[in-house]
Amino acid sequence: MSQARPQDAPRETPLGVPTPARERRAERIVLLAFGLTALSGLALLVLYALGGQTQLEGILLAICLGGLGVGIVVWAQELMSGELRIEPRHRLGGGRAASEAVADALTDEAGFSRRRVLQLGLVGALSGLAAALVVPVLSLGPAPGKSLFRTPWTKGAKVVGFDGVAVKASDIPPDGVVTVFPEGFAGNAEAQTVLINAGADRLQLQGQAAQWAPDGFVAYSKVCTHAGCPVGLYRASQGALICPCHQSTFDVMIGAVPTFGPAARPLPQLPIQLEADGTFTALGDFPEPVGPSFWNMNIGPIQIGGGDESGASQPPATAEPGP
Amino acid sequence: MNRFRRRGGGSPVDKPGDGPGGTHERPRVDDLGRPLNEAAVELQETGDDPTEPTELERLTAWLDERTGLAGLVRTTLRKVFPDHWSFLLGEIALFCFVILVLTGTFLTFFYVPSAGLVEYTGSYAPLQGAEVSQAYNSVLFLSFDVNAGLLFRQIHHWTAVVFVAVIVAHLARTFFTGAFRRPREINWLIGFGLLTFALAEGFTGYSLPDDLLSGTGARIAYSAAISIPFVGPYLASLVFGGEFPTAAFLPRFFVLHVMLLPALFAGAIGAHVGLVFLQKHTQFRGRLQRADNVVGRHFWPGQAFLSMGLFFLTAAVLAAMGGLVQINPVWAYGPFEPAIVSSPAQPDWYVGWLDGALRIFPPFEPTILGVVIPSAFIPGVVIPGVLFTIVGLWPFVERRITHDTREHHLLDWPWEAPFRAAVGAAILTFFAVLTLAGGNDVIAVFLDLSVERLTWIFRVLVIVAPIVAGVVAWLLCRNRLGRPAPDELEPMDAEHADDGPAHAGVALRRTATGGFEEVEG
């Protein structure tokens, strides 16, 4: 130890050659900092016993940790040697000889290296094992199958609100908006629909879409066709549904066609009819998939691996109401 | 003033390249035939000291006789660490990880990873009687009814936020100084892996409280996943356990967050730090600093004390933030309901750029031969994928451009590689603009602009600003470099890359008329 540290030269810290006065001052600072740590630690205990208080606890913990930090850093910077040391840097690796030696060691057993057929067999066996071990990963989720293509809405389903109670036309004032679900599925993620009293005079729907909007009431999927957020804002003056996540904007009056933002596909319209008692029923499911687009949405479900669907567990959220 | 003092007798610097097989007089070797370094030789020489051993020596002898590690420990204690503030960024990231594990362990004792519904009966009055998930319930319980629970939850969240920021700063330091060059490409890849693990940790952790905001974030991630060509719906179903929302995803994210990802993380940190140990730290060139040495303080006690102090100071700042600055008040957001959404909605900062990309990308959803390319695919999958690939493979990309395959142990100053600096500035600016775009609704209110107009401004900025930043960075670097434009595609500073003093250039002085003139430097 003494060989490595010559005693003849004046000691030098990272902050210069210290004077005795400066050393004493540094020592006092370190002790003061450590003292603060001990005191605030005790204070923290007392505060905890008294029932605690988040802000005070944070301050005391910060002082506790900060005291240690300051003390240790001052100690290192003011009272320890700041001598610069030089360590040689050797070239990494042992050169050609070393890599040849490794290659030799790997292959010098003829019983291993010359048995090409057995090596291939081993690789084949391990691949088979890997495949067998990976396949259970498929159990992690059911094959999507048709689940992305349909929602719990069915022909004749009663239109209800969050509370499961049937929504009446008289409950929705002009420009009013209600989030609705098929009866029995209140709160359901895929079935969520906005029912808007847009007014027959303002709606400009064509053909079938117009018949699906009785008395100026029109219903669109509430799942944004961009990234799936609920389209939760309605700017009545412009008849615009807006998604607060990415600001996709849909014109309710012309079939929820996107007019601004990243969404490119209209919100699917739910076919509804107004019953004699003022409630609504669905005429069927949405005519197209709701929510964000996916590559095969116009082609239909793609089956990978055939029978996955039957073997996989059914998640609660995709429970189907039946045909 | 000579800050470096030679050790008593002999040269302090070994000649580099004294590998095995050298004809040097002194190749003392250990049991495995590896040459002993100076410290170990010294230990060997002083090993049979006739004087009475001290208590400490007795303890180390006891351990050494059972492990044989004395030489390695001595080498480690005497390891030299170069001193530059930017080298502390990686250390702070490591400290954040330690704090995350400590505070996170505390949180796991309270958190319930279940979507099962219960009635909230805790002490937060506005939600009493509400039907909430057990996960949300447990987070509220921890926040309101556990002494110091909110403190540690907020320290955990703040640390996560700082963690990613420090990792990005550390990555930028490594990038702009060229520390990733041979022989450190592997460590760049491991570090890049650590960044992606940190992002995954952040996202899974953010999702666990099952509040309205985090549930919306998970919904968007699910939507980005199903936009992957054809297999997307399968992948999303495997990760979430079915079509979103599922009861399975909270327990799964929990296991990922507290077990798999931290285990991966710890292993990768070990490899990351281990490689730095084997390869020795890089350094900026200086009066003493050369390619074949490392100049700095010994690990013990100087550097170790500094690091310990830094750990406690980091923890102190995070404790103060956790105590005084509110973060993620999930009680204000409310429990997750798939048909409800809040506005404005911003994720944690490190996800903001992804959200920004989703916000400002134009509505582009072509149908080709009946196949739909979803609007979320390019901003949600392609852009992040391409960017991360470029960043992750940068050491190899740069080598293709510069054809520089030599070893580098001395760092570049950022301006010494203008092309690299320009690329880095452009990428950082791109991320910055996208991150701001992720807050376009908030900024629109702040600036009193319509969101529509602001979105268009961001659409232009995201293209223009990176180009401008790259060009400006390039010009600034060349200016700082003070020499005629080198061909950027040639090996950088081939003559002086690893030896000699700082770059040999001419000094420029700005003249009163705005031009430049050479001065004697």
pLDDT in tens, A266-309: 999 999 999 999 999 999 999 999 999 999 998 888 765 544 44
> How far apart are the C-alpha atoms of B292 and B299, rounded to whole Å?
19
Query: Could you tell me the two tokens for A228?
Result: 């799936």
> How far apart are the C-alpha atoms of A284 and A297, rounded to whole Å?
19
- Cα atoms in the Cβ-side hemisphere of radius 13 Å centred on B391: 25
- Burial of residue A166, with CB atoms counted within 10 A of its CB: 0-12 exposed, 13-18 middle, 19 or more buried: middle
CB of A198 closer than 8 Å to CB of A217:
yes
The alpha carbon dihedral of B296, B297, B300, B302 has a sign of: negative
> How far apart are the C-alpha atoms of B228 and B249, rounded to whole Å?
19
Between vectors from CA B209 to CA B206 and to CA B211, what angle results, nearest 5°?
95
Task: Report the residue of chain A nearest B371, measured CA to CA.
Answer: A295
B2 CB within 8 Å of a chain A CB: no
Do the chains contact at A292 and B12, CB–CB below 8 Å?
Answer: no
Question: What DSSP element (H or E) covers A240?
Answer: strand A240-242
A88 CB within 8 Å of a chain B CB: yes
Question: What DSSP element (H or E) covers B517?
Answer: strand B516-519
Among A57, A69, A95, whose Cβ lies nearest the Cβ of B316?
A: A69
Phi-psi region of B241 (alpha: psi -120 to 50; beta: other; left: phi over 0): left
A100 CB within 8 Å of a chain B CB: no
pTM (two decimals): 0.85
Q: Which residues in chain B have Cβ-Cβ distances shorter than 8 Å to A258?
A: 363
The alpha carbon dihedral of B415, B420, B425, B431 has a sign of: negative
Nearest residue to B195 (alpha-carbon basis) of B156, B168, B215, B232: B168
Do the chains contact at A75 and B288, CB–CB below 8 Å?
Answer: no
Q: Which residues in chain A have Cβ-Cβ distances shorter than 8 Å to B3?
A: 12, 82-84
Between vectors from CA B376 to CA A295 and to CA A134, what angle results, nearest 5°?
60
Q: Euclidean distance between the first and final Cα of chain B, in Å?
A: 22
CB of B240 closer than 8 Å to CB of A318:
no
A34 CB within 8 Å of a chain B CB: no
CB of B268 closer than 8 Å to CB of B194:
yes
- Burial of residue B349, with CB atoms counted within 10 A of its CB: 0-12 exposed, 13-18 middle, 19 or more buried: middle
Among B21, B237, B440, whose Cβ lies nearest the Cβ of A141?
A: B237
3-class secondary-structure state, position A286: coil
Nearest residue to B18 (alpha-carbon basis) of A193, A151, A166, A91: A91
CB of B78 closer than 8 Å to CB of B12:
no
- Cα atoms in the Cβ-side hemisphere of radius 13 Å centred on B45: 11
Do the chains contact at B219 and A97, CB–CB below 8 Å?
Answer: no
Query: Could you tell me the two tokens for A281?
Result: 């029923």
Query: Could you tell me the two tokens for A172?
Result: 């929705």
Do the chains contact at B183 and A92, CB–CB below 8 Å?
Answer: yes
Do the chains contact at A62 and B317, CB–CB below 8 Å?
Answer: yes
Q: pLDDT in tens for each of the 521 residues of chain B?
A: 344 443 444 444 444 444 444 444 555 666 666 666 666 666 666 655 557 788 999 999 999 999 999 999 998 999 999 989 999 999 999 999 999 999 999 999 999 999 999 999 999 999 999 999 999 999 999 999 999 999 999 999 999 999 999 999 999 999 999 999 999 999 999 999 999 999 999 999 999 999 999 999 999 999 999 999 999 999 999 999 999 999 999 999 999 999 999 999 999 999 999 999 999 999 998 888 988 999 998 898 889 999 999 999 999 999 999 999 999 999 999 999 999 988 888 889 999 999 999 999 999 999 999 899 999 999 999 999 999 999 999 999 999 999 999 999 999 999 999 999 999 999 999 999 999 999 999 999 999 999 999 999 999 999 999 999 999 999 999 999 875 544 443 444 444 444 444 444 444 455 555 555 555 43
Question: Which whole-number Å values give the CA distances from B421 to B469, B476, B484, in the listed order?
Answer: 10, 10, 17
> What string of H, E and C letters represents the secondary structure of A224-250?
CCCCCCECCEEEHHHCEEECCCCCCEE
- Burial of residue B387, with CB atoms counted within 10 A of its CB: 0-12 exposed, 13-18 middle, 19 or more buried: middle
Do the chains contact at A4 and B42, CB–CB below 8 Å?
Answer: yes
Among A56, A87, A233, whose Cβ lies nearest the Cβ of B80?
A: A87
Among B16, B220, B364, whose Cβ lies nearest the Cβ of A227?
A: B220
